[in-house]
Structure 1
Amino acid sequence: MKLEHVAIWTDDLEALKAYYQRYFGGIPNAKYTNEKKGFQSYFLRFQSGARLELMSMKSIPANQNDTIQAQYKGIIHIAFGVDSIREVDQKADQLRADGYPILSGPRKTGDGYYEFETLDPDNNRIEVSAIYPD
């Protein structure tokens, strides 16, 4: 069994699509629109085969979680894996240079990874990691 996709509600569908395209290589499909429901979405496919569904509908309320300062039970981040420590550092440098916060890292974790955590334009937590060679 494989994880097929993860979905995110957003108020700015185009900005979030552009972020995942630019920084993580997501390839979007054509925008789907259901005018009756006021719903729009994109699926972005990644090199691994995993997909991310970005969805927008005016009737969806804002998330009340403080995603920057605190964490809550439930899904907390999306992780992207790269092949090397150097790629982790390069992605952190790129995102930092483009004005995105680096919340932690890059650092070696106790479970054998090298990673950092950042936020996408909607303040969803993103982790980028590589296996730390011993």
Structure 2
Amino acid sequence: MKLEHIALWAADLEKLREFYEQFFDAESNAKYFNARKQFTSYFLTFPGGARLELMHRPDIPPNQNQPREQYLGLIHFAFELESKAGVAAKAEQLRAAGIPIIDGPRITGDGYFEFTLLDPELNRVEVMCKNS
């Protein structure tokens, strides 16, 4: 069994799609639109096969969570890179582009080298590698 995809509601579907294409090598399918439900979505596929569904509907209210606080439920998803140098380089690329890094890069107590960023919709995304 494998996790097939994670889905996110988005206020700005195009901006979020472009972010993951530009910084995480996502490949998008064609936009899907259901006029009756006013539902629009993309499936993004990442190297390695993981997928992320980006969805938009005009009646979905904004998330009330504060992105720098902790809450029950889904708090982040992570991308694994091959090396500490790759993680550090990705952090610098994102910082240079004005993307907020809210934690790290750092070595964790359980043996990872990682940092956490906020995507354009303020979802937490972790970039990590095994610290070996």
1:90 alignment counterpart? 89
**Counterpart Cα distance in 2 of 1:100 and 1:78:** 16
Q: Superposition pairs for residues 73-88 of structure 1, below 5 Å?
A: 73-88=72-87
2:49 alignment counterpart? 49
1:22 alignment counterpart? 22
**Counterpart Cα distance in 2 of 1:42 and 1:107:** 33
List 4+ stretches of structure 1 deviating above 2 A.
none
**Counterpart Cα distance in 1 of 2:80 and 2:97:** 20
Deviations 1:42-91 (A, max 9, x none): 000011111000000001111110112x1100000010000000010000
**Counterpart Cα distance in 1 of 2:101 and 2:44:** 24
Q: Which amino acid aligns with 1:2?
A: K
TM (normalized to structure 1)? 0.97
Q: Which amino acid aligns with 1:62?
A: P
2:8 alignment counterpart? 8
**Counterpart Cα distance in 2 of 1:100 and 1:48:** 24
TM (normalized to structure 2)? 0.98
Q: Which amino acid aligns with 2:26?
A: G
**Counterpart Cα distance in 2 of 1:51 and 1:104:** 24
2:64 alignment counterpart? 64
Q: Which amino acid aligns with 1:18?
A: E
TM-superposed deviation, 1:130: 0.5
**Counterpart Cα distance in 2 of 1:11 and 1:117:** 21
RMSD value, Cα: 0.6
Q: Return 5+ residue gaps in structure 2 as ranges.
A: none
Figure out how many residues of one structure are paired with residues of the other and give that number.
132
SS in 2 for 1:48: coil
